[in-house]
Structure 1
Amino acid sequence: MIRLGVDFGGTKIEAAVLDEKGRFLARLRRPNPRAYEAALRTLRDLVAEAEQAAGRDRAACAGVAMPGSISPKTGLVRNANSTWLNGRPFQADLERMLERPVRVANDANCLALSEAVDGAGAGADLVYAVIIGTGCGAGLAVNGRPVAGRNGIAGEFGHAPLPWPRADDPDEAPAPACWCGQAGCLELYVSGTGFEADYRRRCGVSVGAPDIVERAKAGETAAGASLQRYIDRLGRGLAMVCNLLDPDVIVLGGGMSNVEALYPVLPAA
């Protein structure tokens, strides 16, 4: 029996087909069009391409990791930073389009489980995983099992307020409004989108996160300052997590986790 998994991210959709031993048979990705119907069609077509590339019978079911969660009461998406998903019957629509059962779970919970089973947190009692990409989310696994909590939001990180805001930083005090209706949420600061916004506010130009990092490496003062603010804010957020949960391992995922400059200094930030 083959396995089919889909990572439904804010900027890309990735499908993978694995054999019975967990080895990749096919792995494909496409940009996420960021519109509901178009994204469903992209996912459907990507799954078909991946299964064809794998050269095996199609999978009997599919697993999909997504931002936000499915309300157990309504079956509708809630709390997704890809806000065009919210209020939609995502799981039901996927099952209709893929013509098979689909299990949907929060992407950060999936990351925590994966790392706890055979990744950086293998064998650890408590693994905390943070996705810092288009948005920001988090999840945890205890003794190799994901913990969702009563309301499906256990361990969430992105819409907790930035801890210990600095009164002398106009971007922190007063706290800026967030799309969720609150103010000063960590997602505004430690997502890739937040990193780009910080640089744009200071420099007046829109530059992608990878380019800002390259500018910092090249010695640009403004880019270096934005990166240092980013590391400081992420460090404060993770310090709050350590105070609350005292995890054995913290794992970072998402596009910003590829920034090598984080790792020499983040543990002490």
Structure 2
Amino acid sequence: MRIGIDLGGTKIEAIALDRDGAIRARRRVPAPRGDYAATLTALRDLAQAVQSEAGATGPIGVGIPGTISPATGLIKNANSVWLIGHPLDRDLADATGRPVRLANDANCFALSEASDGAGAGHAVVFGAILGTGCGSGIVVDGRALTGPNAIAGEWGHNPLPWPQPDELPGPLCYCGKRGCQETFLSGTGLERDFREQTGRDLNGAAIVAASEAGDAQAEAALQRYEHRLARGLATILNVVDPDVVVLGGGLSNLERLYRNVPKLWGAFVFSDTVSTPLVKNRHGDSSGVRGAAWLWPPE
């Protein structure tokens, strides 16, 4: 039995996963905001609750919106800023009496989809999350890459490649730089682009609905988004050449991406052919929490 916990900005979800990948217990609670001690308590209580429901104990894996600094052992690069500077893995291990592993939530997503999701059976899986932010993870032979700086897969904080003149210098990102892919390829990036181009304030779902109803401005926004996503993924194909690219996050539900983006990325991939499949995730919102459990492979 393995416990997986997905620590999000608005919710915390926990599951108990058996060795065959079946969920034996599941709980979800609102995430405390701005309070590290309350977050730690919520994680401890959730772990104990799913262990009790499943009737078994096991190690704990946690997906977080950040990572552990190899230099200090403390959380860094977390957009849930109250986690930064704390030894969350050690504190949770002390609170629960269980072994704990932490990983970036995008790495957990990629690991879940590589283990028994849309990327199962592929040696190299690139998983991209297109949601409120824009993250990614890389899994090779069943293991998530982290790197010596614990930043492998920080795709969203590279500049948008082959920028058009009207894309420069790019929006200001929360990381302090301009033109990060996250500011273009996240759901909030799509909404910002539509607002700046049209003066209309619609969320992502409304933009899609407007396009399907024949709204030319909404259709143009989605075409700009697809071209940007194609350029962004082309850099991954050029550097990593994964066996499959799996999309997650809210924008992964946009079926047109799987038709249109592969038609566009060939112009930017350094190859005469591109056979890489672009696919939708299999586990949906559960990918993060399942991937956290998969941080402890079955023995």
TM-score normalised by length of structure 1: 0.86
Return the alpha-carbon distance in structure 1 between the equivalents of residues 14 and 217 of structure 2: 37
The verdict on how the C-alpha distance between 1:48 and 1:207 changes in structure 2, with shifts beyond 3 A counting, is farther
Q: Does 1:235 align with 2:214?
A: no
Dislocated runs of 4+, deviation >6 Å: none
**Pairwise CA distance, 1:253:** 1.5
Alignment of 1:1-269 (within 5 A): 2-37=1-36, 38-52=38-52, 54-57=53-56, 59-167=57-165, 169=166, 172-204=167-199, 206-269=201-264
Return the alpha-carbon distance in structure 2 between the equivalents of residues 55 and 123 of structure 1: 29
Return the alpha-carbon distance in structure 1 between the equivalents of residues 198 and 40 of structure 2: 37
**Pairwise CA distance, 1:216:** 2.6
Q: Find the residue that maps to 2:226 and give its secondary structure.
A: helix
Q: Find the residue that maps to 1:105 and give its secondary structure.
A: strand
Letter in 2 for 1:238: L
The answer to whether the Cα contact below 8 Å between 1:196 and 1:208 also exists between their aligned partners in 2 is yes
The verdict on how the C-alpha distance between 1:224 and 1:120 changes in structure 2, with shifts beyond 3 A counting, is same
Q: Find the residue that maps to 2:118 and give its secondary structure.
A: coil
Q: CA RMSD in A?
A: 2.4
Return the alpha-carbon distance in structure 1 between the equivalents of residues 49 and 222 of structure 2: 38
Instruction: Pick which of 38-47 and 136-145 moved more.
Output: 38-47
**Pairwise CA distance, 1:130:** 1.1
The answer to whether the Cα contact below 8 Å between 1:36 and 1:84 also exists between their aligned partners in 2 is yes
Letter in 2 for 1:106: N
Q: Find the residue that maps to 2:90 and give its secondary structure.
A: helix
The answer to whether the Cα contact below 8 Å between 2:75 and 2:83 also exists between their aligned partners in 1 is yes
Question: What is the identity percentage for the equivalent residue pairs of Structure 1 and Structure 2?
Answer: 53
Q: Which runs of 5+ in 1 are unaligned?
A: none
Instruction: Pick which of 20-29 and 69-78 moved more.
Output: 20-29
Q: Find the residue that maps to 2:260 and give its secondary structure.
A: helix
**Pairwise CA distance, 1:97:** 4.2
- Count matched residues: 263
The verdict on how the C-alpha distance between 1:216 and 1:49 changes in structure 2, with shifts beyond 3 A counting, is farther
Instruction: Pick which of 109-118 and 246-255 moved more.
Output: 109-118
Q: Find the residue that maps to 1:263 and give its secondary structure.
A: helix
**Pairwise CA distance, 1:106:** 1.4
Write the deviation string for residues 169-217 of structure 1: whole angstroms up to 9, x where unpaired.
2xx1122222212221011111122222223333445443233323332
Relative contact order, higher structure (CA 8 A, sep 6+): 2
Instruction: Pick which of 153-162 and 19-28 moved more.
Output: 19-28
The verdict on how the C-alpha distance between 1:19 and 1:78 changes in structure 2, with shifts beyond 3 A counting, is same
Instruction: Pick which of 92-101 and 219-228 moved more.
Output: 92-101
